[in-house]
Amino acid sequence: MSPPRLIVDFDGVVCDALVECALVTWLGAHPPAPDVPVSSYAIAMPDGFVRRFAKVRDYARTLHHFLVAHRAAADRLTTQAQFDALYGVIPAATVRSFVAAATAARQRCRVEETAYWLDLHALYPGVEDLLLRHAGAVAVITAKDADSVWTILRRRGLDHTVGEVIGECSRKDEAVAELCARTGTTPQQTVFIDDNLTNVRRVARTGARTYWATWGYHTPEDVAAAAGARVRPLTLAGLPTLNV
């Protein structure tokens, strides 16, 4: 691939997939029956669980973290420290089992009910133009699996804009550094966009020019922390004039 000039997160930056993520999170603990369409479970999810997941999504960085939505204590979350503590006491074996089941449910829905699954991913306004404007010099680094990302990009006719997708990534700063080294560029020559404040602050330390996507998933705590840390906020209205 050509050296990337623009590196973006996917869920929360390129597309809104809140309902899809809630569904696979539910099925990570309640695996679907083999003879029942995965889509039918979307209707069966309790409203309380969906509301709790929406809160958890603002704190989570990876699929592993979504497991917290199955803990009733998540309803009382108000800080990232509380979230981290709640996740930290979950046994590693439980996390692995959950991730495997949620990933299997996502793959099954993507393969068996492709149109339904794709419709659960809505592009944010202005993002398509951003990708087209920098076609061939875009990389995606995301916690979502790469196959899902490529499927969504192809559906939107945007797969040609992206040179590489690094999926299931938990340390984006390390991924940015490795990607740049492999493609013969430096982080200083790239722009990185993510809606997760922790990712933005970590990647900033690589030297990349970073932006916090304020249209994605975040908490009031993030807003205050971003102001104090002098993080560059980016709005959807600012995408047309973003200089990469």
Query: By the 8 A CB rule, do 150 and 159 touch?
Result: yes
Q: Quote the domain boundaries for residue 233.
A: 6-16+123-241
Same domain, residue pair 129 and 226: yes
pTM: 0.89
- Looking at the structure, do residues 211 and 108 belong to the same domain, yes or no? no
Question: Is 39 found in the same domain as 10?
Answer: no
In single-letter form, the type of residue at position 160 comes to H
List 213's β-bridge partners, or say none. 234
Give the Cα separation of 39 and 22 in Å (integer).
12
CA atoms within 13 A on the CB side of 169: 23
Give the percent of the chain with pLDDT over 70.
Answer: 100
Q: Confirm whether 1 is domain-assigned.
A: no
Residues 232 and 150 in one domain: yes
Backbone φ, ψ for residue 93 (5° rounding): -65, -35
Same domain, 154 and 37: no
Same domain, 237 and 130: yes
- CA dist 17 and 187 (Å) reads 28
pLDDT of 1 over the 70 cut? no
Largest CA distance in the chain: 52
- 241, pLDDT greater than 80: yes
Q: List b or e across 184-215, with b for residues whose CB sees 16 or more CB atoms inside 10 angstroms.
A: ebebeebbbbbbbbebbbbbbebebbbbbbbb
Look at the block and give the residue holding tokens 């102001």. Answer: 227
Q: Is residue 182 part of a domain?
A: yes
β-partners of residue 141 are 166
* CA-based nearest residue to 127, from 5, 3, 1, 242: 242
Mean pLDDT of all residues in 69-73: 96
Strand 233-234's sheet: what is its strand order? Answer: 162-166, 138-141, 6-8, 191-194, 209-213, 233-234
pLDDT, tens digit (0-9, with 9 covering 90-100), for 194-227: 999 999 999 999 999 999 999 999 998 999 888 8
Q: Is the pLDDT at 93 greater than 80, yes or no?
A: yes
pLDDT, one tens digit per residue, over 138-168 is 999 999 999 999 999 999 999 999 999 999 9
Total of domains in the chain: 2
Q: What is the CATH number of the domain that holds 186?
A: 3.40.50.1000
The pLDDT of residue 228: 77
Residues 164 and 82 in one domain: no
